[in-house]
């Protein structure tokens, strides 16, 4: 690691001023061909690479977009996907703790075995950044990220995309005064950030209507972990479709994030005991649906024979599960690329008002609703 060469070194070797060196890299047309060659030769010979820090400082822009994502440990959705994979791979008879024996690497538990929601979104961001000549900086956080964590990212990008519930609202508001911030969900509060979301309500209404009209179901219960704005919007779609059809709206709480599988087992048991098992569980997210399919299988209840189950997201896990999962697929990659696009536009030319986009979703009719079995 020899001392890093700078514009000064290149300029000296090429016999020009540093301005000329800078120009040959940033505005080649302003430099005569012959001198340009000389500069490039010198740069090559010295192994020169422009320092992004200096460049960013001088220009007042970094040329990078940040994505603030989850950290991956202990998230229940990840758990659910893990379990789904095990069930699929080993058949319903196998307990899910077999997982570790499949992939165990003592020092290296592998928590991430399906491309989940945020993975696909990240891919979209990457693609758009690349297309527009930006680079991507990845940060990870959890609700309680410290100021320092986030400054580490926010200080080095021109725009920031964040998943919901990864950063405290107050910090987000502060950051958004300096750089554009786009949030990837329906609004939890009116914080005037840029925003890209999907047709949560419309999609869920569509799905619910499918169960009502195509399958003639009437006892349909909505389930799913509370606390996310997306969940509320989806519930609204379900509720609307049920009202229109003159059906009762029913929803079940979840006691908590500890051992969700056992929690769902208890719920199923209680419902069956009281004779109130619904004809369908409409779940707020795929991960929850997989959890319910698992629990129903354990209880010896056939899906979709006795009870239908649906999800929302469109994870690959729902495509390889048995039965395959009827769900609403979000355009996750597009979600990411749209977010990046908004940010880059804002960097270039700020708009006075927050940009809000809602992307269409798509009903994926598969087996778990009772179709095609």
Residue 63-92 contact track with DNA, rule CB under 7 A, x = bound = ------------------------------
CB of 119 to a second copy, least distance (A): 7
Contact between 292 and DNA by CB under 7 A: the answer reads: no
Contacting range for DNA; rule: CB under 7 A; set: 56-64, 91-99, 110-118, 228-236:
56-64
Q: In residues, how long is the chain?
A: 373
Shortest CA distance to 368 belongs to which of 291, 305, 300? 305
Residue 180 near which of a second copy, DNA, none (CB within 5-8 Å, type-dependent): a second copy
Query: Which of 242, 249, 248 is CA-nearest to residue 213?
Result: 242
d(C-alpha 278, C-alpha 206), whole Å: 19
Which of DNA, a second copy, none does residue 64 bind to, with CB < 5 to 8 Å depending on kind?
a second copy
108 binds, among DNA, a second copy, none (CB under 5 to 8 A by kind): a second copy
| Residue 261, token pair as written in the block | 């599988």
3-state secondary structure of 265: helix
When asked if residue 18 is in the footprint of DNA (CB under 7 A), the reply is: yes
* Interface residue with DNA, options 16, 67, 153, 325 (CB under 7 A): 16
Least distance (Å) between residue 94 CB and DNA: 53
Residue 305's contacts (CB-CB under 8 Å, 6 or more residues apart) are none
Question: Between residue 77 and residue 106, which ones bind a second copy under the rule CB under 8 A?
Answer: 85, 88-89, 102-105
Q: Does 316 bind a second copy (CB under 8 A)?
A: yes
- Based on the shown chain and the rule CB under 7 A, indicate whether residue 62 belongs to the binding site for DNA: no
Selected binder of DNA within 45, 58, 89, 102 (CB under 7 A): 58
Pick from 192, 196, 179: nearest CA to 64? 179
26 binds, among DNA, a second copy, none (CB under 5 to 8 A by kind): DNA
Contact in structure between 96 and 86 (CB atoms under 8 Å): yes
Separation CA 21–CA 89 (nearest Å): 59
Closest CA to 69 of 29, 123, 109, 12: 123
Please tell me whether residue 30 binds DNA under the rule CB under 7 A. yes
Q: Which is nearer to DNA, 51 or 243 (CB)?
A: 51
Q: What is the DSSP secondary structure assignment for residue 353, as one 8-state letter?
A: S
> Which 137-156 residues touch a second copy, going by CB under 8 A?
137-140, 151-156
Nearer to DNA, 46 or 316 (CB): 46
Please report whether residue 4 would count as binding a second copy according to CB under 8 A.
yes
Q: Minimum distance from CB of 332 to a second copy (Å)?
A: 8
Neighbour tally for 97: CB within 10 Å: 9
DSSP codes of every residue in 179-241: S-EEESSS-SS----EEEEE-HHHHHHHHHHIIIIIT----EEEE--SS-HHHHHHHHHHHHH
- How many residues in the shown chain lie near DNA by CB under 7 A? 30
Using CB under 8 A as the binding rule, the residues of this chain from 327 to 356 that contact a second copy are 329, 331, 333-334, 337, 350
Binding test (CB under 7 A) with DNA, winner from 2, 40, 44, 57: 57
Neighbours of 93 (CB within 10 A): 7
End-to-end CA distance of the chain: 63
Is 133 a residue that touches DNA (CB under 7 A)?
no
Listed residue (262, 336, 260) closest to 299, CA to CA: 262
Residues in contact with DNA by CB under 7 A are: 4, 6-8, 15-20, 22-23, 25-27, 30-32, 34-35, 48-51, 54-55, 57-60
């Amino acid at each position: 690691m020899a001392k890093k060469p700078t514009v000064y070194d290149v300029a000296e070797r090429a016999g020009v001023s540093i301005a000329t060196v800078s120009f040959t890299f940033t505005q080649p047309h302003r430099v005569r061909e012959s001198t340009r060659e000389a500069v490039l030769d010198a740069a090559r010979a010295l192994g020169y690479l422009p320092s992004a820090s200096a460049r960013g400082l001088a220009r007042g822009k970094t040329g990078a977009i940040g994505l603030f994502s989850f950290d991956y440990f202990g998230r229940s959705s990840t758990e659910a996907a893990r379990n789904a994979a095990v069930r699929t791979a080993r058949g319903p008879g196998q307990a899910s703790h077999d997982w570790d024996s499949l992939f165990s690497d003592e020092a290296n538990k592998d928590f991430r075995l399906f491309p989940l929601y945020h993975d696909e979104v990240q891919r979209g961001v990457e693609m758009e950044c690349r297309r527009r000549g930006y680079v991507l900086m990845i940060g990870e956080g959890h609700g309680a990220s410290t100021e320092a964590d986030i400054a580490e990212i926010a200080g080095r990008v021109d725009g920031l995309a964040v998943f919901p519930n990864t950063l405290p609202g107050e910090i987000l508001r502060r950051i958004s005064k300096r750089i554009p911030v786009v949030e990837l969900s329906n609004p939890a509060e009116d914080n005037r950030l840029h925003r890209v979301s999907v047709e949560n309500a419309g999609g869920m209404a569509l799905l619910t209507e499918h169960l009502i009209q195509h399958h003639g179901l009437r006892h349909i219960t909505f389930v799913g972990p509370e606390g996310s704005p997306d969940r509320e919007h989806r519930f609204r779609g379900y509720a609307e479709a049920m009202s229109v059809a003159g059906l009762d709206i029913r929803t079940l709480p979840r006691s908590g994030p500890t051992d969700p599988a056992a929690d769902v087992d208890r719920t199923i048991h209680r419902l069956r005991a009281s004779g109130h098992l619904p004809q369908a569980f409409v779940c707020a997210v795929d991960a929850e649906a997989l959890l319910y399919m698992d629990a129903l299988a354990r209880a010896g209840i056939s899906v979709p024979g006795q009870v239908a189950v649906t999800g929302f997201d469109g994870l690959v896990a729902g495509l390889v599960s048995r039965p395959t999962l009827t769900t609403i697929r979000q355009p996750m990659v597009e979600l990411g690329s749209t977010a990046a696009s908004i940010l880059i536009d804002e960097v270039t030319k700020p708009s006075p008002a927050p940009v809000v986009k809602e992307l269409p979703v798509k009903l994926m009719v598969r087996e778990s609703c009772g179709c095609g079995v």
